[in-house]
Structure 1
Amino acid sequence: MSLYTDHLGTLQRQAESALERTGHDTLLVAAGIEKYAFLDDRPYLFQPNPHFKHWLPLTQHPHCWLAVRPGKRPRVVYHQPDDYWHVPPSAPGGEWVDAVELVVIREPGQAAAALADCVTPRTAILGEADAALPGLAPNNPEPLLNLLHWARGTKTPYELEQMRAAQRRAVPGHLAARAAFLRGESEAAIHRAYLVACGHTDRDLPYGNIVGLNEHSAVLHYQYQDESPPAEARSFLIDAGAQVNGYASDITRTWAAPGHDEFAALVAAMEAEQLGLVDEVREGVDYRDIHLSAHRRTARLLRGAGLVKMSEEAMVEQRVTHAFFPHGIGHLLGLQVHDVGGFMAGETGGVADKPEGHRYLRLTRRLQPGMVVTIEPGLYFIPMLLRELRASPHAAQVDWDAVERLSRYGGVRIEDDVACRAGGQAPENLTRDAFAAA
């Protein structure tokens, strides 16, 4: 079988098991609807239900539905309107068509009749409330969602192929962005160079690109892009991904301008620690331990750079590292950039708590083969956090002259997307492999 049909078989088995275990007989999944701005006729960017695109590579198809019934092929209700205001979806095509029972509709309301024979008192319907049609009201049963979300944590071979392709699509953008930075271009121009190189428009991106020069790199989710270049471009941080068939990549790189050797040395030291953290992605490892390891490595970096004179153990214990590394080490990645199920204690639900004092960590599970996680340590010079550190009992242990010099660069973050392998094997670094191939 092809990777895709094998993937569908896996999803069918998982769905049938979840239905039986939770007392349901059918699963219906709404792709979602196009939403409009308040008091306006301008639509927001359509975002499909992740449970829908888990089965089908249809990411720009509102008003479609999926029906999953034990022992039967999935039924896809495909909305293809007659429309001269917009380009309608093309006629159904691709490998998925032969694997499903296909029903084409011209109006959204026709989905209710196309699915009437699938609806029983024990039907589970996944979707947002505004996707409802007569007789098709999403109920999103939590026990069933828990089983599906837990299973989504591990990727099928088909999914891993899409994620490798998303890396290959993003990497040319990162290389073009770096070249634009070295040419002295503005944040907005760097962003445009990224889009052209990876063949995306803004609407195709899995998340808004973070493109920061100099001090802007210290804003973790910097959301603007200056049209004018700074008088001197000293540093550049880009956090940008791509999508293939609904699967995302999420890559961050930091660069120093030529001649800025002190900051370049900090970037090189961070890269060494980041690669060490990548190597900790192994089957059975508690991801929380990788996060705590990142703080120990941050302490080593701070001490090695002469920024903080305390012992590494004391820096971690006294939370000094939090002033320079305030976010989590990463998250699950897949159909969503911050994929679901990251805090689940088990397949039936519950919460695996974050380590005390580490509220921004987005993943607290043990790693399983097939999981794809990000590993993204950072070291930043954030004015608000530095003011707090100056007011703390540890201020005398900080080389504030060095901090002031490096604050002009904003900060460093390096992020790779990493697949966990079975049996203690070294992880697959999807990002580094794509850069090497490029």
Structure 2
Amino acid sequence: MAEIDDTRRGRSEGQPRGFYVVCLALACERWAAYVLASSVVLMLSERYGHSQAESLRLAGLVNAASYLGTLPGGLLADKKLGHRRALSLSAALLTLGYALLVLTSPWALWLSLGFLVLGGALFKPSTQAMIALVFPEDDPRLEAAQIRSYLAINLGVALGSITSGLAVRHSGWGAAFSIATAVMLTACAVLVVNRSSLPPGDAPRSAKASPETHGMSPKQRALAIGSLMLAMLLYVLCYGQVEGSLVLWAQDRTERWIGGFEVPAVWFVALPALLALVLGGGQLAVIDRLKRRIGTYRLVAAGLGATSLAFVALTPAALAAGDKRVSMLWLVACLILIVVGELLISPLGLALVLRLAPPRFVGLIAGGWYVCVAVGYWLAGEVGAMWARSSPMSGVAFLAALPLGGAFLIWLITARRSA
């Protein structure tokens, strides 16, 4: 108990010290993950000989599998391991997974994916539970903390995508995954050195309700959690195209020459992360005002609306005749709107879900959130495979219409709750 109290008193610039440790671990994990994720479709095609449709489907399944285990992983961390121990174990498993990808044998690919799935199943819910546990339940800094954690995540995503593009182009796949292994070893070291800054498991939390959850019955809380998880699922289904169909769009349908330099297609995977770093700082400055005037639920619905507009922005490019390459500005506009959707849905929705979750099951609820992410990535792979076999406009229209339905549902739930 004394250790937990010390953790809560340990501050760095107004934040619990353990929060910054978790952010650094998140940045390292995403850096390593996006060395793989930003190029997984191209790797499966070029290194292992799969077709584009097969590669998109496999990439969706890999993403889904990496998130699907977070529900039992979160429960295991809640009840048996404790989130601090689960975090260190998961980092070690992820390090082994990326190390195996240095090898070119097919058996090494499948074995590495097993380690990555197991590591991700513990890492994702434990990091989110740790963020919730180092803040009191009614702490108004939680939403801002989630945004800061997303800035750390997107810094890692950007570094991973850029690293992947450069390493694969100049040194090959083995060099890229050697970098991913080194980055995860750094995360392991950070967690070991700063172990005392993290609470071991379920720290006591204040019973005081936040304004967003005040007066809600268990049924209303469950409905709110379900609607927020649906929003995340729909968003991930659309965002999953960034790592799949939109990489192929950049490679096959986009004019990527600037002067005498051809922009690597995988760098477009890094662009949303860089945009999130820029836009996230502005969001931190206005988040309290937006929450008071609009409310978190409606901000999440607005995020789905922005995601819909992202694919509307691709309509002129989708209507371009034949195999004509179009300006990369259409794709950039799409990615900007996807980032706006991410910043409204991911950190704000997750922060509210963690507020709504019973303290004893915060890891389990965080795991449920990531299960929705898993389903979203699986559906993203299926939609991407169908899009690869159909016309560009059909995929754009479907992905523009889908999040609008989710936005309307959340807006309707909010209106009925306010009535």
Same fold, judged at TM 0.5 (above): no
Which has more helix, going by share of residues? 2
**Normalization by structure 2: what TM-score?**
0.27
Q: Which has the higher strand share?
A: 1
Q: Which has the higher contact order (CA 8 A, sep 6+)?
A: 2
